[in-house]
């Protein structure tokens, strides 16, 4: 850990990364692309009937997880893997401390805002009868506002660019005023459970702060990960007995759980990509460190299972740690395939999602809103049994193809 910079409060020693000056990291791109591809697939599987429970999210109290339950952790994990590269890239561009924190806060705010809007449009929260326009139209206007605020486009002048982005902010404000929720339509927008993007936004923000405080030291990051688990355990132990300040301080156990997975991603990134000041660290040695990390996560996850049964819904430590172990294993395999075996040609198939992840995530929701507003639906045969599984896989591939075309048209979102 040898690169000192004035961009962070002194002494600000952060690890130097192998690929910091060499553009994108192919195994990370592969992991990100695969995660988003599978995410689109499993989101569609949610509406498929007549299939095994292993193709669905497990019930909250099942003490089990399916591969579907590991997709969101993979989402969080890849966010963590990207954080050291993102922070170092901003520093390399000359960002000072204030500019760096402002950039982190803006990205987190964007994810949280998107998550809150999207979750409020879900059935059970919105009161459609009280809405002045169909909820699908409301959602489509929100996605248009997202494009105005965070879209990558070139306006003829900086003033027009600023005006368009402010128009997007104003449209979001109007949509928030038009929203009606609750049992009788008397309630406005509320965080609810923050939505997937909102949960990621909070975990990203917390981890960025912790990463800078740790100065990128892996041992400190491990302690922070353990502290997240302990925080969750403390809230569970006190339960309803916590009152006043204690209840307020321990009320963010879900964010702590998700942060533990993001921290695991940061640690994995440093294991594979940190420059060793003592000399070159071979990929074989990095694999050994990764295997040790997997063993530690598995041991901790199974040791905690009697007190915290595996549950994605409750975001239990056992679920977090076992999911993180699986993610480390997948990334180690990608390193072996892409770097050691030079089997990288297939990455091009998922690279569109890796290059434009937010559009990949949002596009199926846009398609769903259009179909709902038009009164269209897929034929029932395509949403049942084995055919439903295959159809959802083909749908995910079609979304990936559409994103590749949008990439060519420079339709992108950048936080």
Per-residue pLDDT, 91: 87
Is the pLDDT at 2 greater than 50? The verdict is no
Q: How sure is the predictor about 121, in pLDDT bands with cuts at 50, 70 and 90?
A: very high
**Residues of the chain above pLDDT 90, percent:** 78
The more confidently predicted of residues 278 and 103 is 103
Residue that is written with structure tokens 């460190």 in the block: 289
Please tell me the predicted confidence (pLDDT) of residue 21. 41
pLDDT at 7: 37
pLDDT at residue 9 is higher than 50? no
Between 253-273 and 195-214, two packed helices, what is the crossing angle to 10 degrees? 60
DSSP string, 187-252: B----TT-HHHHHHHHHHHHHHHHHHHHTT-HHHHHHHHHHHHHHHHHHHHHGGG--HHHHHHTTT
Average of pLDDT values for 76-101? 92
CA gap 101, 50 in Å, rounded: 48
Region 42-57: mean pLDDT is: 93
What is the SS3 assignment for 262-275?
HHHHHHHHHHHHEC
**Is the pLDDT at 246 greater than 90, yes or no?**
no
394 or 17, which is more confident? 394
Mean pLDDT for the stretch of residues 291-315 = 97
CA separation for the pair 115, 121 (Å, rounded): 10
Residue-wise pLDDT tens digits, 376-385: 999 999 999 9
When comparing pLDDT for 307 and 241, which is higher? 307
Q: Is the pLDDT of residue 15 over 90?
A: no
Residues 300-311, mean pLDDT to the nearest whole number:
96
The tokens describing 246, both together, are 């204690």
What was the pLDDT predicted at 181?
95
Q: What is the mean pLDDT of residues 295-300?
A: 98
pLDDT of residue 279: 64
What confidence tier does 236 reach under pLDDT thresholds 50, 70, 90?
A: confident
Q: What pLDDT, on the 0 to 100 scale, is given for residue 415? A: 84
Q: What average pLDDT does the segment 48-75 reach?
A: 94
pLDDT in tens, 334-385: 999 999 998 989 999 999 999 999 999 999 999 999 999 999 999 999 999 9
User: pLDDT tens digits, residue range 137-190?
Assistant: 999 999 999 999 999 988 889 999 999 999 999 999 999 999 999 999 999 999
Q: What is the pLDDT of residues 253-266, one digit of tens each?
A: 899 999 999 999 99
Tokens 């395999």 -> residue: 333
How far apart are the C-alpha atoms of 272 and 282, rounded to whole Å?
Answer: 9
- 179-228 pLDDT, tens digit per residue, is 999 999 999 999 888 999 999 999 999 999 999 999 999 999 999 999 99
């Amino acid at each position: 850990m040898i690169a000192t910079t004035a961009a962070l409060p002194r002494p600000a020693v952060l690890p130097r990364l192998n690929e910091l000056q060499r553009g994108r990291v192919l195994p990370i791109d592969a992991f990100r692309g695969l995660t988003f591809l599978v995410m689109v697939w499993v989101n569609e599987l949610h509406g498929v009937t007549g299939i095994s429970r292993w193709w669905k999210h497990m019930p909250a109290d099942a003490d089990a997880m399916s591969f579907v339950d590991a997709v969101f952790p993979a989402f969080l994990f890849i966010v963590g893997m990207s954080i050291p590269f993102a922070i170092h890239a901003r520093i390399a561009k000359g960002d000072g401390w204030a500019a760096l924190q402002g950039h982190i806060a803006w990205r987190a705010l964007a994810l949280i805002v998107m998550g809150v809007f999207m979750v409020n449009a879900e059935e059970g929260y919105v009161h459609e009868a009280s809405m002045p326009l169909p909820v699908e139209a409301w959602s489509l206007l929100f996605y248009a506002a997202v494009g105005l605020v965070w879209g990558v486009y070139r306006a003829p002048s900086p003033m027009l660019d600023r005006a368009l982005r402010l128009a997007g902010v104003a449209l979001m404000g109007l949509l928030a005023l038009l929203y009606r929720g609750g049992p009788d339509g008397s309630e406005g927008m509320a965080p609810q459970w923050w939505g997937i993007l909102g949960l990621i936004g909070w975990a990203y923000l917390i981890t960025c702060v912790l990463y800078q405080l740790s100065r990128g030291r892996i041992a400190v990051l491990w302690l922070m990960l353990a502290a997240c688990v302990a925080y969750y355990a403390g809230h569970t132990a006190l339960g309803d007995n916590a009152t006043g300040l204690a209840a307020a301080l321990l009320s963010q156990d879900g964010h702590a759980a998700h942060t533990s997975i993001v921290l695991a991603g940061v640690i994995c990134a440093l294991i594979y990509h940190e420059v060793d000041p003592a000399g070159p660290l071979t990929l074989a040695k990095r694999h050994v460190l990764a295997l040790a990390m997997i063993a530690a996560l598995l041991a901790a996850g199974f040791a905690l299972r009697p007190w915290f049964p595996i549950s994605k819904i409750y975001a239990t430590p056992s679920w977090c740690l076992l999911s993180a172990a699986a993610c480390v294993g997948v990334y180690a395999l990608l390193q072996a395939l892409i770097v050691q075996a030079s089997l990288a040609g297939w990455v091009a198939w998922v690279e569109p999602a890796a290059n434009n992840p937010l559009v990949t995530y949002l596009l199926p929701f846009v398609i769903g809103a259009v179909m709902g507003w038009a009164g269209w639906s897929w034929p029932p045969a395509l949403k049942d049994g084995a055919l439903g599984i295959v159809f959802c896989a083909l749908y995910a591939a079609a979304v990936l193809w559409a994103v590749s075309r949008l990439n060519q048209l420079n339709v992108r979102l950048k936080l």
